[in-house]
């Protein structure tokens, strides 16, 4: 082999040897035109799909909204299905760190996060598991917690048992897994602090029937004690079914495994077929990061956007996915501002940004509460307690909410109490609220008001502790006149468990903003808002009472019989919180959310005006005058004066009729649709006058043929414009 050939082969060998290194270096570079990549490792198929799919939907919505708000922000979601499998989650992690992902949302489950976490930590990639609750996941150096820890859930269960349910004993079943063990740690510590005596029973994961039977038999020896199930949902449902057959009424308490509507189906499957629907889930409590019926205003707004995007209600996993994506996007914004040269630097900057969120003053706003991380990269957030009724999962009547900066007076009175070392809370009442409309007899567009007669009721728990706000202190801010004496309800009673029921009949006139731009083809919304002006949402939250059987009807079929010009379309109620974007001089609000939020309620009634009836009453006189004006175009040439007089009379008649209509509509600062019809009538009157003058001038100049053409052209234009206007009005009225 000659020396030149050998040298050439050495050169090619060197190029081939270093080619992978060169390619890897090229891939590590960040180009300004490339999108910022958020990796997503979720359980999108299999048993964990109910967690992964909602999380993906929430993350996608957050990214879409961020890019719509800032078009220069270019983000791509790199979505992978880990199937809820630990080994697959690690494989997905290796794939994502080999790519361009700056931050990863996922995995969905704690065991998958523990398996994949070391891969992300080795590559210095921040991992945000949206629904993983194990205490151990943050042992991986770049994993940041999105929702509460299992030990936090255990603490809440013990605290709720003692503070709200007033129990000092409990039978506690613990599944032998990391989930059950960490829940027990939190429960045991809190139970000791709050004086709850406990008997612990252990069961293996996927316990066989004999093991469950044995535990149920032991628990049945103390049937009056509440049962706390620190288990996953399959074992919990099977145990509750057995205990109910043994006659134990509960209450039954569990963690986030019970905090979802799907748990009711598991309970029903584990119960006798002859039980009525919903019987299996009675007196069962579960935990969740958020429950929509009592969520804050920002979460309610998110729910409306989510419904518009996906066509169904979000579950808490979607909220957590949305929050995780917003946290990732905040890191990407920091990276984009610094413009790092390579992916490794960008990933390190993203992790550093999340680590810098280490105190409340640096927190990011989010749906599950302000985002900041402690030394263990854990997130302080509320835990909501839900309760099943008729198979439906909703907020329990009393909640425990955190208090950031309590006063000495609040602590001494017992209104605020200690929930943990240097942590305080208070009781929040969830007030189940409903409305039934008896009648809306009158709308007064000129006064911008309407008259309504309806029933209003509230149900709430008694014994909400010292300093509890009054749920009956209801204010109707738009009521102009009427009858509502909150101290004198139509009916009031108290149940054996202390639940109070108040019913009022409200009759009054309410101010309403009418949008008349499309009048008389308009659709109007009547609104009846009310709220508790003296208590913020950390004390009272009004929620829709969903305990009625069947479909919820909130209006009588005859409620709109007296407003004959309107067609009833829909009536619905919803929560409508009043948010004041100011701390109002209160430093406690500055440390928390920087705003004050009052819980409120809103009743909406949708009406469609019967346009043909309204048009007939208003526009038939105008149409008659237009026809008379049109007829004047056929007067002989000798009646020039009469032609002009008829046109002027038609215009003046239209002006009088328009003034009358405007008087009925009141003072509006915009043009309504019907006014355009009058503008057409005025234009036709002007056309007639101009035509008559032009025809007379042409005849006087001896140009009779031209005068005749103008006369016939005016008649044709008049007829076409009139027919077109009538056709448009009829088409709009038929819509």
Q: Which residues of 450-459 are buried (b: 16+ CB within 10 A; e: fewer)?
A: bbbbbbbbbb
- In terms of average pLDDT, the best of 469-483, 542-556, 570-584, 639-653 is 469-483
Whose CA is closest to 327, among 388, 293, 288, 368?
368
Of the chain, the end-to-end C-alpha distance in Å amounts to: 90
Q: How far is Cα 480 from Cα 490, in angstroms, rounded to an integer?
A: 22
CATH of domain 427-609: 2.70.170.10
Question: What superfamily would CATH give domain 150-288?
Answer: Response regulator (3.40.50.2300)
**pLDDT tens column, 602-623:** 999 999 998 888 777 777 888 8
| Range with the poorest average pLDDT among 349-363, 420-434, 520-534, 629-643 | 629-643
**pLDDT tens column, 290-307:** 999 999 889 999 999 999
At residue 385, does pLDDT exceed 70? yes
666: left (phi over 0), alpha (psi -120 to 50) or beta: left
Q: How far is Cα 386 from Cα 286, in angstroms, rounded to an integer?
A: 5
Q: Domain limits of the chain?
A: 1-29, 31-148+296-362, 150-288, 427-609, 612-734
* 329: exposed, middle or buried (Cβ count in 10 Å: 0-12, 13-18, 19+): buried
- Of 330 and 615, more confident: 330
CATH class of 31-148+296-362: alpha beta
Binned at pLDDT 50, 70 and 90, residue 463 comes out as confident
Name the β-bridge partners of 525. Answer: 606
Which distant-in-sequence residues (6+ apart) come within 8 Å of 178 by Cβ? 110, 111, 134, 136
Which distant-in-sequence residues (6+ apart) come within 8 Å of 432 by Cβ? 397, 458, 459, 460, 543, 544, 545, 546, 547
Summarize the confidence of residues 532-560 as an average pLDDT: 81
**pLDDT tens column, 60-92:** 999 999 999 999 999 999 999 999 899 999 999
At residue 33, does pLDDT exceed 70? no
- Of 524 and 25, more confident: 524
- Of 354 and 391, more confident: 354
CATH 1.20.1250.20 given to domain 612-734? no
Summarize the confidence of residues 88-114 as an average pLDDT: 94
Summarize the confidence of residues 22-48 as an average pLDDT: 72
At residue 13, the 3 state secondary structure works out as helix
**Percentage above 90 pLDDT, the chain:** 50
What is the per-residue pLDDT for 26? 36
Summarize the confidence of residues 324-339 as an average pLDDT: 94
What is the per-residue pLDDT for 22? 33
What is the per-residue pLDDT for 20? 40
**pLDDT tens column, 192-247:** 999 999 999 999 888 888 888 899 999 998 888 999 999 988 899 999 999 998 98
Whose CA is closest to 245, among 268, 225, 216?
216
Whose CA is closest to 256, among 295, 230, 282, 283?
230
Whose CA is closest to 41, among 126, 122, 123?
126
What is the per-residue pLDDT for 14? 41
What is the per-residue pLDDT for 30? 60
What phi, psi does 441 have (nearest 5°)?
-80, -20
Binned at pLDDT 50, 70 and 90, residue 141 comes out as very high
Summarize the confidence of residues 592-601 as an average pLDDT: 73
Domains 31-148+296-362 and 150-288 share a fold: yes
What is the per-residue pLDDT for 702? 83
Binned at pLDDT 50, 70 and 90, residue 588 comes out as low
Q: How far is Cα 540 from Cα 276, in angstroms, rounded to an integer?
A: 33
What is the per-residue pLDDT for 552? 67
User: DSSP letters along 192-260, please?
Assistant: HHHT-EEEEEEEETT--HHHHHHHHHHHTTSTTS-EEEES-HHHHHHHHHHHHHTT----EEE-TTSSS
| Range with the poorest average pLDDT among 144-158, 352-366, 536-550, 649-663 | 536-550
At residue 19, does pLDDT exceed 60? no
Q: How far is Cα 284 from Cα 240, in angstroms, rounded to an integer?
A: 9
User: Mean of the per-residue pLDDT values for the chain?
Assistant: 87
Summarize the confidence of residues 254-260 as an average pLDDT: 91
Q: What is the pTM of this model?
A: 0.82
What is the per-residue pLDDT for 13? 42
């Amino acid at each position: 082999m000659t020396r030149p050939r050998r040298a050439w082969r050495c050169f090619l060998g060197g190029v081939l040897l270093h080619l992978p290194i060169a390619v890897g270096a090229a891939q590590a570079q960040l180009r300004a035109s490339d999108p910022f990549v958020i990796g997503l490792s979720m359980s999108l198929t299999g048993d964990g799909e109910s967690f992964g799919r909602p999380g993906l939907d929430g993350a996608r919505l957050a990214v879409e909204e961020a890019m719509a708000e800032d078009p220069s922000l270019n983000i791509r979601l790199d979505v992978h299905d880990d199937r809820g499998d630990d080994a697959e989650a690690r494989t997905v992690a290796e794939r994502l760190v080999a790519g361009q992902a700056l931050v990863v949302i996922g995995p969905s489950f704690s065991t998958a996060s523990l398996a994949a976490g070391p891969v992300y930590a080795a590559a210095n990639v921040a991992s945000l598991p949206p629904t993983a609750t194990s205490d151990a996941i943050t042992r991986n150096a770049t994993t940041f917690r999105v929702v509460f820890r299992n030990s936090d859930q255990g603490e809440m269960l013990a605290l709720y048992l003692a503070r709200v349910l007033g129990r000092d004993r409990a039978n506690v079943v613990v599944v032998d897994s990391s989930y059950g063990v960490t829940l027990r740690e939190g429960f045991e510590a809190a139970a000791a602090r709050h004086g709850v005596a406990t008997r612990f029973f252990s069961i293996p994961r996927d316990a066989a029937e004999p093991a469950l039977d044995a535990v149920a038999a032991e628990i049945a020896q103390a049937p009056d004690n509440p049962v706390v199930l620190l288990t996953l949902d399959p074992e919990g449902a099977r145990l509750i079914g057995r205990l109910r057959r043994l006659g134990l009424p509960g209450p039954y308490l569990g963690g986030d495994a019970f905090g979802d509507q799907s748990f009711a189906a598991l309970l029903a499957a584990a119960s006798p077929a002859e039980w009525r629907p919903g019987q299996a889930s009675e007196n069962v409590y579960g935990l969740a990061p958020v429950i929509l019926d009592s969520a804050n205003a920002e979460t309610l707004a998110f729910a409306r956007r989510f419904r518009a995007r996906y066509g169904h209600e979000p579950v808490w996993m979607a909220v957590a996915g949305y929050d995780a994506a917003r946290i990732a996007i905040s890191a990407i914004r920091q990276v984009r501002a610094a413009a790092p040269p390579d992916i490794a630097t960008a990933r390190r900057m993203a992790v550093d940004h999340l680590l810098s969120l280490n105190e409340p003053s640096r927190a990011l706003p989010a749906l599950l509460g302000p985002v900041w991380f402690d030394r263990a990269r854990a997130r302080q957030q509320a835990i909501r307690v839900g309760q099943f009724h008729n198979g439906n999962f909703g907020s329990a009547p009393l909640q425990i909410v955190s208090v950031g900066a309590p006063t000495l007076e609040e602590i001494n009175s017992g209104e605020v109490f200690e929930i943990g070392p240097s942590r305080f809370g208070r009781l929040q009442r969830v007030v189940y609220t409903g409305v039934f409309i008896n009648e809306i007899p009158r709308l007064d567009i000129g006064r911008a008001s309407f008259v309504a007669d309806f029933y209003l009721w509230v149900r709430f728990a008694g014994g909400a502790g010292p300093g509890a706000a009054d749920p009956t202190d209801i204010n109707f801010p738009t009521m102009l006149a009427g009858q509502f004496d909150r101290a004198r309800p139509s009916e009031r009673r108290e149940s054996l468990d202390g639940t109070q029921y108040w019913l009022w009949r409200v009759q009054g006139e309410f101010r309403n903003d009418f949008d008349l731009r499309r009048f008389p083809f308009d659709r109007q919304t009547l609104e009846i808002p009310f709220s508790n002006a003296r208590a913020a949402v950390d004390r009272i939250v009004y929620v829709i009472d969903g305990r009625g059987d069947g479909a919820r009807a909130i209006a009588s079929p005859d409620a709109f019989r007296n407003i004959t010009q309107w067609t009833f379309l829909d009536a619905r109620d919803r929560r409508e919180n009043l948010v004041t974007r100011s701390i109002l001089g209160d430093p406690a609000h500055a440390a928390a959310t920087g705003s004050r939020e009052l819980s409120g309620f809103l009743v909406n009634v949708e009406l469609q005006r019967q346009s043909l009836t309204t048009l007939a009453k208003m526009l038939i006189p105008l149409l008659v005058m237009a026809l008379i004006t049109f007829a004047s175009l056929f007067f002989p040439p000798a009646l020039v004066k009469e032609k002009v007089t008829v046109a002027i009379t038609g215009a003046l008649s239209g002006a009088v009729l328009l003034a009358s209509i405007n008087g009925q509509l009141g003072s509006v600062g915009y043009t309504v649709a019907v006014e355009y019809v009058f503008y057409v009538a005025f234009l036709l009157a002007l056309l007639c006058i101009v035509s008559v003058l032009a025809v007379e001038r042409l005849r006087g100049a001896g140009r009779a043929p031209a005068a005749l053409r103008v006369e016939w052209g005016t008649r044709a234009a008049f007829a076409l414009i009139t027919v077109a206007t009538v056709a448009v009005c009829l088409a709009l009225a038929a819509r």
